[in-house]
Chain A
Amino acid sequence: MTDEFDAIEPHSKNGTLTSYIIGFLLSLVLTLAAYFLVEKQWFDRWTLILVITALAIVQMIVQLFFFLHLGNESKPRWNLHSFLFMALVVVVLAGGSLWIMYSLDVRVMPAANINSEMPHD
């Protein structure tokens, strides 16, 4: 009776007390690591940005695995497939938008600056 629902539940094996505790402790360590790296400013700016982004991505993977149990499902793995498709859309959408906006900033803004300097000439 106690595990009656577990028998018919899709993610049965994954959700254990240990997995939640491990996920929580890893997330805690990663959060505090990112926080203290920024507080202490041990690295230069760009290294720090890369390290912090990497820590966030690692923490995302930790939580996807230990809290959302992604990657532990059986056969068709629809959850994982739709996650990967979403990731692809986000990369195209976010990467593409940032690229376009950066390009516009570089190519269009100098012209605007020249125009604003024209009265001085």
Chain B
Amino acid sequence: MTKSVTVYHNAHKEVTERTILGFWHYIMSDCILFATLFVTYAVLHNNTYGGPTSRQLFDLPYVLTETLILLTSSLACGLGLLEARRRDKNKTMIFFGATFLLGLAFLALEINEFYHLVQEGNSWQKSAFLSAYFTLVGTHGLHVASGLLWILVLMAQAWFGGLTWVIIKRFMCLSLFWHFLDIVWIFIFTLVYLMGVIL
């Protein structure tokens, strides 16, 4: 490797590291946002105002399916990043395509769940508990939806522009975001759904 190539690569390394750190700080601030929503839910979850309680509403097997789908999409995302680093464009497309489809399935299940709740008259207007529930789970769903859009855009960029170091840097940010959403969902699954059935 000549000296100029080394300098060039060091510049890329520095930019990538700085971008990843900046994106990591965004994720940390997003964690604080979710923490406030979790606390709001924890404070309000017994205030049902004569409406249904969490135990009457939540269907655990359905939510477990959602959880497993999101977990698998997180795995597919990680494997996709490995392939992107190896510059294997086809496999990158397959794995991120799988990530997208699994994420879409998760979102469809969640929207279906919300639709049925609203259909049965249990919308966010029913009680403080349901307001907090829809805000918390809906915010997560919104993050998943924007992640899906991001995957599509990035896959198109990689397909037409090739796996350049800039695109791989973006894939690294995307995978951080996607794994982070899975971690938030662990807490929604545990603190909202599992505890909602115990209490």
Q: Which residues of A contact B (CB under 8 A)?
A: 1-10, 15-17, 20-21, 23-24, 27-28, 31, 34-35, 38-39, 41, 45, 48-49, 52-53, 55-56, 59-60, 63-64, 67-68, 78-79, 82-83, 85-86, 89-90, 93-94, 97-98, 101
A63 touches B165 (CB 8 A): no
A67 touches B78 (CB 8 A): yes
The yes or no answer to B60 lying at the interface (CB within 8 A) is: yes
Nearest-CB residue, chain A, relative to B35: A90
The yes or no answer to B71 lying at the interface (CB within 8 A) is: yes
A38 touches B198 (CB 8 A): yes
A20 touches B79 (CB 8 A): yes
A14 CB → nearest B CB, Å: 11
Nearest-CB residue, chain B, relative to A68: B179
CA distance A39 to B194 in the complex (A): 9
A101 touches B12 (CB 8 A): no
Nearest-CB residue, chain B, relative to A17: B82
Interface band, chain B? 35 or more
A89 touches B79 (CB 8 A): no
CA distance A28 to B24 in the complex (A): 25
The yes or no answer to B168 lying at the interface (CB within 8 A) is: yes
B194 touches A34 (CB 8 A): yes
Question: What 18 new A-B contacts, CB under 8 Å, besides A38-B194, A83-B28?
Answer: A3-B86, A5-B87, A9-B172, A31-B71, A34-B194, A41-B198, A48-B198, A49-B198, A52-B190, A53-B190, A60-B187, A68-B179, A68-B180, A79-B21, A82-B21, A86-B28, A86-B32, A93-B36
CA distance A16 to B79 in the complex (A): 8
B9 touches A8 (CB 8 A): yes
Question: Please, which residues of chain B bring their CB within 8 A of the CB of A4?
Answer: 87
Question: Please, which residues of chain B bring their CB within 8 A of the CB of A49?
Answer: 195, 198
B163 CB → nearest A CB, Å: 8
Question: Please, which residues of chain B bring their CB within 8 A of the CB of A68?
Answer: 176, 179-180
The yes or no answer to B42 lying at the interface (CB within 8 A) is: yes
Known: A6-B85, A16-B82, A93-B39. A67 touches B182 (CB 8 A): yes
The yes or no answer to B101 lying at the interface (CB within 8 A) is: no
Question: Please, which residues of chain A bring their CB within 8 A of the CB of B59?
Answer: none
Chain B contact residues, majority secondary structure:
helix
The 25 sampled A-B contact pairs (Cβ below 8 Å) are A1-B87, A2-B86, A5-B85, A8-B12, A9-B172, A15-B81, A15-B82, A16-B82, A17-B82, A20-B78, A23-B78, A31-B64, A34-B194, A38-B194, A38-B197, A38-B198, A39-B60, A49-B198, A53-B191, A55-B190, A56-B186, A59-B186, A67-B179, A82-B21, A82-B25
Question: Please, which residues of chain B bring their CB within 8 A of the CB of A59?
Answer: 186
B161 CB → nearest A CB, Å: 15
A81 CB → nearest B CB, Å: 10
